[in-house]
C-alpha cells in the first residue's frame, strides 16, 4: 500500500519539546516551556472545577452540537449560533475548511513563513500552496492578493501572525476583503487576538455581515489556557458553516472541553489581568533587550522573536541546559531567530538573565 502522492511531501509539524523530555535529557528538576505560546497562568479554578464535575459523566457521548458553548459564544460575539462552528482546536476548523473547499486543481495562498497547519491541510486535499514571503516580518498583503486567481479557494491570514507576532492593519484587512469579495474565502486566524492592543485591533467580527467569504478563527488554547483540551471555533456566513457541518465528525469536541470552554467564557473578565501582565512583561523584555542591543520584532501576541544569529543552535542548546525550552526559528522558517513565549514574571526574569549571558557568550 502506498501513501497518496499528494501526501508524500507534506512537511512535518515539529511541536515544542515537552517538559518531561527535557528534564530527563538534561537531568533537570525545573524546566520552563516557552515554546508553544501557552498561557502559563493556567486555567481559572472555576474552569478546573467544571472539568472535574464533567469528568464523572464521561460515560456519555458529548453534545454533538456543543449547544451551550455555541449559545454562549453567539451571545458574546453578537452573532447567530448558525454562524459558528466549534472544532477540536482551531487546527480542526482549518482542516475542515480545506476538506470542504480545496481539491486537486485548486490552490490556497499563505504567507511564508506562517502557521504550518494551513499548508498541511491544503496539501492533504491535493491543493497547491502558494507561499508569499513576508515583507519586514509582516504578511505582504498586496502580493498575497495578487497571487489569488480563479483557482484559489482560500487566502489564509494570521493576525497576530505566527511566528512573527505582527498584526494586520485595518487598511490591509479591508483591502483584502474588498479585492476578494465574491471570490476566494478569506480566513483570518485570530488565535492571539485577545493580546492585541486596542489601537491595533481591527474588530474583525464587524465585517462578517458584509463579507460572506470571511471566516474568523479563534481558540481557547491561548488566553483561556485550555490548549490540552483542544477547542477552537470559526465564525462565518451560515452557508459556510453548513458546509463545514457536513464533514464534521459528530463528536469532534469532547465533553470536558465543552464544559471547560463554557466555564472559561463565564469567567472571561479575569483574562484582562492576564493580558495586562503579558503587555507589561513584554515591555520589560524589550527594554532589557534594548539595553543589550539585541534585536527583536515588536509583537502583538504573547510571544515574540529574537534575533540570535549564526550561533542560534548553540544558544538554544545552552538555554535547554539551563531549563528553558524555546522554539528554534529554523523549525518555523525564520533561521537565526528564536521564538519565545512570555511566561510568568519570575520565570521571565530568570530567562532574561540566562539568555542575555548566553547571547553575549556567542555574539561578542
The footprint of ligand PMP (CB under 6 A) covers: 37, 89-91, 115, 158, 162, 189, 191, 219, 221, 227, 232
Smaller CB separation from ligand PMP, 86 or 102: 86
What is the Cα–Cα distance from 97 to 50, expressed in whole angstroms?
A: 30
Q: What residues contact residue 51 under an 8 Å CB cut-off, 6+ apart?
A: 43, 229, 256, 259, 260, 263
Supply the minimum distance, in Å, between the C-beta of residue 331 and ligand PMP. 12
The contacts of residue 31 (CB under 8 Å, 6+ apart) are 19, 22, 23, 323, 324, 325
Nearer to ligand PMP, 110 or 358 (CB): 110
In angstroms, the CA 29 to CA 16 distance is 19
Query: Is the CB of 106 or the CB of 139 nearer to ligand PMP?
Result: 139
Q: In angstroms, rounded to a whole number, what is the distance separating the alpha carbons of residues 187 and 159?
A: 10
List, in sequence order, every beta strand (DSSP E) within 194-352: 214-219, 232-236, 303-307, 324-325, 327-328, 337-341
CA proximity to 158, closest of 140, 181, 175: 140
Q: Which residue is nearest to ligand PMP (CB)?
A: 89
Closer to ligand PMP at the Cβ: 294 or 333? 333
Query: Which of 197, 358, 218, 193 minimizes the C-alpha distance to 282?
Result: 197
Nearer Cβ to ligand PMP (228/345): 228
How far apart, in whole angstroms, are the C-alpha atoms of residue 75 and residue 78? 5
Shortest reach from residue 150's CB to ligand PMP, in Å: 27
Measured from the CB atom, the residue of 162 and 274 that comes closer to ligand PMP is 162
Amino acid at each position: 500500500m502506498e501513501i497518496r502522492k499528494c501526501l508524500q511531501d507534506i512537511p512535518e509539524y515539529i511541536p515544542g519539546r515537552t517538559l518531561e523530555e527535557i528534564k530527563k535529557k538534561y537531568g533537570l528538576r525545573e524546566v520552563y516551556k516557552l515554546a508553544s505560546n501557552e498561557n502559563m497562568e493556567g486555567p481559572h479554578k472555576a474552569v478546573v472545577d467544571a472539568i472535574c464535575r464533567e469528568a464523572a459523566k464521561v460515560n456519555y457521548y458529548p453534545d454533538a452540537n456543543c449547544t451551550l458553548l455555541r449559545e454562549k459564544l453567539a451571545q458574546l460575539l453578537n452573532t447567530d449560533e448558525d454562524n459558528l462552528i466549534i472544532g477540536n482546536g482551531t487546527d480542526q476548523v482549518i482542516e475542515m475548511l480545506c476538506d470542504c473547499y480545496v481539491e486537486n486543481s485548486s490552490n490556497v495562498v499563505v504567507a511564508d513563513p506562517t502557521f504550518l497547519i494551513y499548508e498541511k491541510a491544503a496539501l492533504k486535499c491535493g491543493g497547491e500552496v502558494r507561499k508569499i514571503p513576508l515583507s519586514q516580518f509582516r504578511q505582504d498583503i498586496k502580493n498575497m492578493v495578487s497571487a489569488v486567481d480563479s483557482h484559489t479557494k482560500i487566502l489564509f491570514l494570521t493576525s497576530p501572525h505566527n511566528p512573527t507576532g505582527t498584526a494586520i492593519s485595518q487598511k490591509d484587512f479591508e483591502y483584502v476583503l474588498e479585492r476578494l469579495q465574491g471570490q476566494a474565502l478569506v480566513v483570518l486566524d485570530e488565535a492571539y487576538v485577545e493580546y492585541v492592543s486596542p489601537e491595533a485591533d481591527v474588530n474583525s467580527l464587524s465585517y462578517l455581515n458584509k463579507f460572506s467569504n470571511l471566516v474568523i478563527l479563534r481558540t481557547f488554547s491561548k488566553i483561556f489556557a485550555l490548549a490540552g483540551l483542544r477547542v477552537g471555533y470559526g465564525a462565518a456566513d451560515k452557508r459556510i458553516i453548513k458546509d463545514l457541518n457536513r464533514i464534521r465528525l459528530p463528536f469532534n469536541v469532547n465533553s470536558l472541553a465543552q464544559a471547560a470552554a463554557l466555564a472559561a467564557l463565564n469567567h472571561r473578565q479575569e483574562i484582562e489581568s492576564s493580558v495586562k501582565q503579558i503587555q507589561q512583561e513584554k515591555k520589560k523584555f524589550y527594554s532589557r533587550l534594548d539595553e543589550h542591543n539585541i534585536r527583536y520584532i515588536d509583537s502583538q501576541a504573547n510571544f515574540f522573536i529574537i534575533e540570535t544569529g549564526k550561533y542560534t543552535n548553540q544558544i538554544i542548546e545552552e538555554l535547554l541546559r539551563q531549563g528553558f525550552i524555546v522554539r528554534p526559528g529554523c523549525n518555523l522558517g525564520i533561521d537565526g531567530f528564536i521564538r519565545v513565549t512570555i511566561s510568568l514574571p519570575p520565570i521571565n526574569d530568570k530567562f532574561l538573565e540566562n539568555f542575555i549571558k548566553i547571547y553575549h557568550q556567542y555574539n561578542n
